[in-house]
Amino acid sequence: MIIEKMKKLDWRKYAPLLWMLIFPVLGLMYAWTNTTENREVYQLVTAVDESIPFIKAFALPYSIWIFYIYVCVVYFFKKDVNVYYRALMTYAVSAMICYLIYSVFQTHVPRPVVTGNDPISELMRYIYNRDQPFNCFPSIHCFSSYMVMRMIWTSSFRNKWNVTLITGMSSLIIMSTLFVKQHVILDALAGIFLVEVVTASMILIERRLKLARKPQKSSIGA
């Protein structure tokens, strides 16, 4: 029964999901920039950051970040393919800008010593070992979490449930970057600002393209 249903399914309509392969490609580029070789490293830690406690429990929302982004993007695809494409474009452009900044302005966030042998402590150590304490400003975790939050706010399919869920989860991930000491406040703010700039630029480009097409249509009609 299940096999018969799969055979009848029109897989071509899911072809646009292949564009999500941009995520692993961008991930490889991230790894290339995650180094401090022959570069000066800066710190953007403020007094407010120093007052924020280290809370290992926030390793949980921090660690599921990329899977959460995937789920949101697929959800956008199901609801409105235009929102899906806009999300992919915003993510790709924002990530490329981040990599450019990392290559010329590398920052570092001091990390605390993780104690304990409980599962949360082990997860925290895994996060620290997997990701070097660089590539911090702007924060990719923060910009992407804010991006999907902003996308749902402005979508035609928003409702109190998806807005609450995505806003809540995105906010939790953004906060987690501060509580697990992977980022500082300026990293988070820069990520949010980056999304606003990229979004505004894309809207401006779309409007200009529409205006550029209007004279062509009128001349063809004449």
**142-180 tens-digit pLDDT:** 999 999 999 999 999 999 999 999 999 999 999 999 999
In this prediction, residue 222 carries a pLDDT of: 41
Element (H, E) at 180: none
Whole-angstrom CA distances from 65 to 43, 62, 87, 108, 189 are 24, 6, 16, 21, 18
In this prediction, residue 9 carries a pLDDT of: 61
Instruction: Give the C-alpha separation, 201 to 186, whole Å.
Output: 22
The count of other CB atoms within 10 Å of the CB of residue 62 is 23
In this prediction, residue 40 carries a pLDDT of: 87
In this prediction, residue 38 carries a pLDDT of: 66
Element (H, E) at 135: none
In this prediction, residue 212 carries a pLDDT of: 84
In this prediction, residue 1 carries a pLDDT of: 56
Please give the average pLDDT of every successive group of 10 residues along the chain, which has 222 residues: 58 89 92 76 95 97 97 98 97 97 93 95 96 92 98 97 98 98 98 98 91 63 44
